[in-house]
Chains A and B, each alone.
Chain A
């Protein structure tokens, strides 16, 4: 069974631009969560989607948003990029909301 896939793997953007990252969960998984990983703040939860609805949200500004489609694929969007948004963005999927999460390889975003 294929794992969680994330596209693109690497991105370079300029301050003020916006970016969309994509995540395809493991087949049959219905829950998708997003995390930001930086050297300073570590791994921080962004949001969780289940059945196309946002179920949990972390402590991030409104510039960070996401959505989930009917096939469980998910996207996250960051508008008006700041230098501090440079990070590894990880997506994780789980079969349901009380099962373990499996992570994708991440998207490395660099904001210049």
Chain B
């Protein structure tokens, strides 16, 4: 069965420092990969996606991620975080080409940006 592991449940970081949120997935078939962010009492907002093509993906709010097929990873990075980036971040995978209707999510990483 496919699964997604977010290696850190909480990541504290100071404002303007770089951050990396780690995500590994298990799947033997082709995958589509996503990162979502959830602010308190809100739904999920799509940060970025990997469907095909370049393995370095740029998203909104200065975030980027790199798809590494050999390591089955899709880590999220930002070179300089802001207080407003404090939120919960979810890595998700959909399995099988031509089907993004079923997403499998990691358990989430809480990013805490300190002043």
Contact = CB atoms under 8 A, between A and B. Distances in A.
Nearest to B44: A103
A98 B51 contact: yes
A44 B108 CA distance: 12
Interface residues of A, number: 26
B28 interface: no
Contact of A43 (B49, B51, B99, B105): B105
Contacts, number: 68
- Consensus secondary structure, chain A interface: strand
Interface in B17-55: 32, 34, 36, 42-46, 49, 51
Interface residues of B, number: 24
B104 interface: yes
Given A42-B105, A42-B107, A101 B43 contact: no
Nearest to A45: B102
A55 to B, nearest CB: 6
Contacts of B90: 43
A31 interface: yes
Interface in A65-96: 90, 92, 94
Q: Is the interface of B mostly helix, strand, loop or mixed?
A: loop
B100 A106 contact: no
Contact of B103 (A4, A99, A101, A106): A101
A103 B102 CA distance: 13
A99 B105 contact: no
B105 A106 contact: no
Contact of A98 (B45, B98, B102, B108): B98
B99 A33 contact: no
Contacts of B100: 31, 94, 97-101
Interface in B42-91: 42-46, 49, 51, 90
